[in-house]
Amino acid sequence: MSGEPLAQGTSRRGGSLRGAGPMRRGDALADLGFTEVPTTQDGGADTMRPGALRGAARGRNLDGLAHALFLRLSPVIAAVVLATQVVIAWVNYGDQIRIEGVRAQMMADMTARALARPGWATAYDPQLQALALDPAFRYAVLRDASGSMVGRLGEEPRGRNFERIQVSAEINPGPADQPAGSLTLALSAEGLRANAEKQFVMVLGASLALILAFALALRLAVGRHVLAPLRRLLSAMGQVEHKEWVTVDLAGRHRPSREIADISAAFNRMVEGLRSGDEARHLLAELERTHARLAEANGLVMESLGYARRIQQAVLPGANALREAGLEVAVLWEPLHVVGGDYYWLEEIDGLGIVVVADCTGHGVPGAFLTLIVATALDRILHDQGLRRPEAILAALDGVVRARLRQDAGASGGAPDGSDDGLDCGICVIDRASGTLDFAGAGLALTMLVDGEITRIKGRRHGLGYRRTGREEALAGTTVRLRDGQTFFLMTDGVSDQMGGMSRRLLGHRGVAEILGRHRDLPLAEQVAALETALAVHRGAEPCRDDMALVAFRPTMG
Amino acid sequence: MDRIQIPATSRSPLVDFDFPAGRLLLRGESYPEDAAAFYGPLLQALRACLDEEGGPLIVDVALSYFNSSSAKALMNLFMPLEDAAEEGREVTIRWLYAQGDDTIAEAGEDFAADFSHARFEMVQETAA
């Protein structure tokens, strides 16, 4: 029977409308290409773990989002569309059944009316044949008043009665002599059911097509404008996690949705901020490394210079070296750069006090080299050659320096890039026995303080050494008679060349003389200390310009 | 001969040797670590300039401090100037010093003694 499968189908599909739905996860959607994914909770836990962005960046969890969206929405839409269409179909079907019933009744009535004439019980055939013309006709039976069958057409149907429409009509011929009867007509309802079934299948098909179209459109739109940009964002985040400062391109062919565009723009700004912060950190770290290297290099140089200073100080004589010669001595020696080119020599030889102050060109290590040449030369001049006249000592020193530095090598005074170095030098030879002081200077003057009065005895203008220019003056000595109250100073130009003061100019030897005069009543050592303090006051914030060396001496009483 | 212009540093003076105009200027402080390296090229340029025929030369030196190496370098600059003046070139050295700066004034007087053919003028500058 064709009715049976239909009844089963209706009951099965009807169940789907009331229940949770026949579309379990994975049947229809799986056909659309969606695959099983981990649950959202798992995905959330993943992103909490450090480094989890790498997995997330591959987009699995984004597919999870899409799936969740489609799986929740699609059954609801499918159920609503199906329910609506099935209710409409059901109502339609009911109407059809009712109209068909009315038509069947009308046909039965019309045939019964047509039969209602005498002798109907024998002449019924044409009317029954007319009924059989109806395509839905299944079966008709005529019965007389006693209920016994008079005639029939078609096969008597079996089975449930909802597969057919069955109506009856009374046959009433009118006159009492004519027996009455009844006509029973059965029409098939199969056509109607087939129609309803067709309609249902069409509705189902349309619903599926709708869901498919919806799912595809949603997936395409979400994929292009949400998932792909999110995937790009996540991938960029993964790279940023590893300090690759990439930004997200917002201009692509498929523009991201507004919210994601906003997030991406914020992300890009954050990356720019991180990048510049990272660069600044790198620069700072680089700077710190460089600084550490410089500090180490500087430490080595300073250590080396400290060692050099100990050597240079060892070469310098002690301040009491001239006690035997009857001289009180105070010394100020302060190289600009730990070691320097200023040098002094104090020695008592055969009762003579010899004071030498030299200012070699340059300061620091180059100056210190020259002081060692001067020290060696003085040793030879004073002890080997036995010279005692200051101008003779200067001349000899000049010769040794030129020879040592090969300044007289070429006809034009040495190679063009050879040494053009030398020194300013002042020498005093004090003879307590004869009460005289002999002085000779080359670029270095003798300052004499007597009863608050300053006298300055200049030597030759040009120093010793240097390439010959042919303009050098001759070296000459000056003799000063010793008497009480005299204090002598030999000092390098570093002492008087103190830049500073209100007008920011050099203190000059007049300024130094004024300071010395102010403190003339102090013991010699304190006088020198006072000068040093006053020089620092004059300099103020200005740095020292040169090495400083000063030897102060006065004949001791008695 | 090109013009040489070197800006001043804390340890070296402003140099403006405008050879075409015959105006040379040193102004500032001079105590470079290596005076020979600083003044060597200037001396060469000056010599080259003096070797060429040219008009009068005015050299302004306005140093507020110079160390002994720089003093030696200045002397080396002045010598060819004096030689050129001896050979007939009109050379004027103007030694500029601040009012009351005895040290620089005295140093100028010392340098003046080296010149007999070139003009050496002491010019006192009043504080600006």
Percentage of chain A lying above the pLDDT 90 cut? 34
Tell me the three state secondary structure of residue A469.
coil
The upper half-sphere exposure of residue A6, i.e. CA atoms within 13 Å in the direction of its Cβ, equals 18
* Probe site for chain B from A342, A361, A444, A547 (most B CB atoms < 10 A): A361
Strand partners, A411: none
Residues from chain A contacting residue B103 (CB–CB below 8 Å): 496-497, 505-510
Chain A stretch 85-124, residues whose beta carbon is closer than 8 A to a beta carbon of chain B: none
The predicted model gives A132-154 an average pLDDT of 84
* Probe site for chain B from A359, A466, A492, A506 (most B CB atoms < 10 A): A506
Predicted confidence (pLDDT) at residue A59 exceeds the cutoff of 60: no
For chain A, what are the domain ranges?
Answer: 3-193, 318-555
* Probe site for chain B from A407, A425, A461, A466 (most B CB atoms < 10 A): A461
The least confident of A58-62, A504-508, B65-69 is A58-62
The predicted model gives A520-539 an average pLDDT of 92
Q: For position A24, what pLDDT does the model report?
A: 46
Written as six digits, the tokens of B38 are 């600083």
Taking Cα atoms as reference points, which of A284, A280, A282, A230 lies closest to residue A254? A230
- Chain B residues in contact with chain A using a Cβ-Cβ cutoff of 8 Å: 29, 31, 35-36, 64-65, 67-69, 72, 75-76, 79, 98, 100-104, 106, 110, 113-114, 127
Residue of chain A with shortest Cα separation from B102: A508
Residue of chain B with shortest Cα separation from A507: B103
Confidence grade of residue A30 (pLDDT, cut at 50, 70, 90): very low
Contact B100 A503 (CB under 8 A): yes
Beta-carbon pairs below 8 A across chains A and B: 60
* Probe site for chain A from B29, B63, B72, B75 (most A CB atoms < 10 A): B72
Q: For position A385, what pLDDT does the model report?
A: 93
Residue A422 sits at the chain B interface (C-beta within 8 Å)? yes
The least confident of A62-71, A80-89, A380-389, A490-499 is A62-71
CA separation for the pair A361, A90 (Å, rounded):
120
Q: For position A175, what pLDDT does the model report?
A: 64
> A120, A171 in Cβ contact below 8 A?
yes
Percentage of chain B lying above the pLDDT 90 cut? 59
Confirm or reject CATH 3.60.40.10 for domain A318-555, answering yes or no.
Answer: yes
> A382, A393 in Cβ contact below 8 A?
yes
Predicted confidence (pLDDT) at residue A130 exceeds the cutoff of 90: no
Count of CB atoms situated within 10 Å of the CB of A14:
13
Predicted confidence (pLDDT) at residue A336 exceeds the cutoff of 80: yes
AA letter at A513 = A
Whether the CA torsion A502, A508, A513, A516 is positive or negative: it is positive
Contact A545 B31 (CB under 8 A): yes
Chain A stretch 313-372, residues whose beta carbon is closer than 8 A to a beta carbon of chain B: 359, 361-362
Predicted confidence (pLDDT) at residue A176 exceeds the cutoff of 50: yes
For the stretch A349-373, pLDDT in tens is 998 999 999 999 878 898 999 999 9
AA letter at B77 = L
Taking Cα atoms as reference points, which of B102, B93, B94 lies closest to residue B123? B94
> A150, A157 in Cβ contact below 8 A?
no
The predicted model gives A328-332 an average pLDDT of 93
Q: For position A69, what pLDDT does the model report?
A: 72
Q: Which of B68, B101, B106 sits opposite A359 (nearest CB)?
A: B68
Q: For position A352, what pLDDT does the model report?
A: 92
Burial A392-413 (b: 16+ CB within 10 A, else e): bbbbbbbebbbeebebeeeeeb
Contact A499 B65 (CB under 8 A): yes
Q: What are phi and psi of A547, to 5 degrees?
A: -65, 155
Q: Mind telling me how many Å the CA of A455 is from chain B's nearest CA? A: 16
Residues from chain B contacting residue A359 (CB–CB below 8 Å): 68
Question: In chain B, which residue ranges form alpha helices assigned H by DSSP?
Answer: 35-51, 68-86, 102-112
Residues from chain B contacting residue A509 (CB–CB below 8 Å): 103
Q: For position A427, what pLDDT does the model report?
A: 96
Written as six digits, the tokens of A84 are 């609506």
The least confident of A191-195, A412-416, B49-53 is A412-416
Contact A506 B69 (CB under 8 A): no
Q: For position A23, what pLDDT does the model report?
A: 44
For the stretch A67-124, pLDDT in tens is 777 777 777 887 888 888 888 888 988 898 899 899 889 988 888 888 887 777 777 8
Could you tell me whether strands A181-188 and A137-144 are parallel, antiparallel, or unpaired per DSSP bridges? antiparallel
Residue A542 sits at the chain B interface (C-beta within 8 Å)? no
Predicted confidence (pLDDT) at residue A173 exceeds the cutoff of 50: yes
Contact B98 A505 (CB under 8 A): yes
Predicted confidence (pLDDT) at residue A288 exceeds the cutoff of 70: yes
Confidence grade of residue B127 (pLDDT, cut at 50, 70, 90): low
* Probe site for chain A from B68, B70, B96 (most A CB atoms < 10 A): B68
Contact A506 B104 (CB under 8 A): yes
Contact A508 B110 (CB under 8 A): no
Whether the CA torsion A374, A377, A381, A382 is positive or negative: it is positive
Predicted confidence (pLDDT) at residue A340 exceeds the cutoff of 90: yes
Q: What are phi and psi of A79, to 5 degrees?
A: -65, -45
Predicted confidence (pLDDT) at residue B10 exceeds the cutoff of 50: yes
Predicted confidence (pLDDT) at residue A188 exceeds the cutoff of 70: yes
- Residue-level length of chain B: 128
The least confident of A180-184, A253-257, A280-284 is A253-257
Q: What are phi and psi of A156, to 5 degrees?
A: -70, 125
Contact A546 B36 (CB under 8 A): no
Tell me the three state secondary structure of residue A186.
strand
Strand partners, A380: none
The predicted model gives B47-76 an average pLDDT of 90
Sheet bearing A137-144, strands edge to edge: A149-154, A137-144, A181-188, A164-171
Contact B29 A420 (CB under 8 A): no
Q: For position A21, what pLDDT does the model report?
A: 42
Q: For position A197, what pLDDT does the model report?
A: 84
Q: For position A128, what pLDDT does the model report?
A: 82
CA separation for the pair B77, B60 (Å, rounded):
12
Contact B67 A471 (CB under 8 A): no
Which contacts of A471-479 are long-range, i.e. CB under 8 A and separated by 24 or more positions?
A: A471/B79, A471/B114, A475/A391, A475/A394, A475/A395, A475/A398, A475/A440, A475/A442, A476/A391, A476/A440, A477/A389, A477/A390, A477/A391, A477/A438, A477/A439, A477/A440, A478/A438, A478/A439, A478/A440, A478/A446, A479/A436, A479/A437, A479/A438, A479/A439
Contact B98 A503 (CB under 8 A): yes
CA separation for the pair A112, A99 (Å, rounded):
20
Predicted complex ipTM: 0.83
CA separation for the pair A475, A396 (Å, rounded):
11
For the stretch B79-92, pLDDT in tens is 999 999 999 899 99
Q: For position B41, what pLDDT does the model report?
A: 93
Helix (H) or strand (E) holding A396: helix A390-404
Written as six digits, the tokens of A282 are 């790198």
Could you tell me whether strands A478-481 and A436-442 are parallel, antiparallel, or unpaired per DSSP bridges? antiparallel
Q: Mind telling me how many Å the CA of B32 is from chain A's nearest CA? A: 9
> A157, A164 in Cβ contact below 8 A?
yes
Q: For position B81, what pLDDT does the model report?
A: 93
Tell me the three state secondary structure of residue A120.
coil
CATH assignment, B4-125: 3.30.750
Burial A222-247 (b: 16+ CB within 10 A, else e): bebbbbbbbbbbbbbbbbbeeeeeeb
Strand partners, A367: none
Q: For position A63, what pLDDT does the model report?
A: 61
Confidence grade of residue A6 (pLDDT, cut at 50, 70, 90): very low
* Probe site for chain B from A336, A462, A468, A505 (most B CB atoms < 10 A): A505
Question: In A316-339, which residue ranges form alpha helices assigned H by DSSP?
Answer: none
Taking Cα atoms as reference points, which of A420, A419, A437, A416 lies closest to residue A428? A437
Strand partners, B18: B23
Beta strands of A297-452 (E only): which ranges?
327-334, 342-349, 352-360, 422-431, 436-442, 446-450
Residue A545 sits at the chain B interface (C-beta within 8 Å)? yes
Q: Which of A420, A496, A546 sits opposite B103 (nearest CB)?
A: A496
CA separation for the pair B37, B58 (Å, rounded):
24
For chain B, what are the domain ranges?
Answer: 4-125
Percentage of chain A lying above the pLDDT 70 cut? 84
CA separation for the pair B115, B82 (Å, rounded):
6
For the stretch A440-483, pLDDT in tens is 999 999 999 998 889 999 989 889 988 887 778 888 999 999 98
Q: Which of B68, B100, B103 sits opposite A424 (nearest CB)?
A: B68
Residue of chain B with shortest Cα separation from A472: B114
Contact B72 A507 (CB under 8 A): no
For A405-431, the DSSP string reads TTTT-STTSS-TTS---EEEEEEEEEE
Q: Mind telling me how many Å the CA of B56 is from chain A's nearest CA? A: 25
